[in-house]
A and B are shown apart, each in its own frame.
Chain A
């Protein structure tokens, strides 16, 4: 079956540091890949997505590239801010299969 593996958190960074959160996936076909973000006390929000190999999703300074050869979708940001502190979920949705498979989430804490 499908699965998503994320790096364990929490990740603690100083403001303006470079961020990478690793995500790898297992799927039988050609999934769409997502990053969702959950701020404290809120629901998950779509941050970015990519629907085919070599696509790059980007939003709010975050980027992730769909790498089919390494089955990865790592999240990056060049300079994090305190306001980026949240839990980040990697996820996939495959073809006509309607469920989304979520990773376990990675908590990011950015300190001033």
Chain B
């Protein structure tokens, strides 16, 4: 299995622009998680899905963030408009039984 796939690996954008991060979970995993990692706040859970349905989005920082999972093999995290404080590494993870498997992350820099 290829593992969790994320794209792009690096994204540099200017403040105010829309950013879309993409994730392909491991086939057969029914949970998908989006995390954000920064030096200041560590690893934060943003939102997670079960069978493509959002279950808990309480970690989404504000309305500028949105996430979708149109099918079992694809999810997006969108930031519109982006701000410099959104700069972070964003991880997607999928879950089998009690173990989460993380993607390599997308490093986002908002100038």
Please list the residues of chain A having a beta carbon within 8 angstroms of any beta carbon in chain B: 32, 34, 36, 42-46, 49, 51, 89, 93, 98-100, 102, 104-105
Contacts and interface: CB of A to CB of B under 8 A. Distances in A.
B56 A42 contact: no
A32 B98 CA distance: 8
Interface of B: 4, 31, 42-43, 45, 48, 50, 55-56, 91, 93, 95, 98-105
Nearest to A32: B98
A43 B27 CA distance: 18
A45 B99 contact: no
Q: Could you tell me the dominant secondary structure of chain B's interface residues?
A: strand
Given A98-B50, A99-B56, A43 B103 contact: yes
A36 B99 CA distance: 10
A43 B91 contact: yes
A99 B105 CA distance: 19
Contacts of B56: 99
A32 B95 CA distance: 14
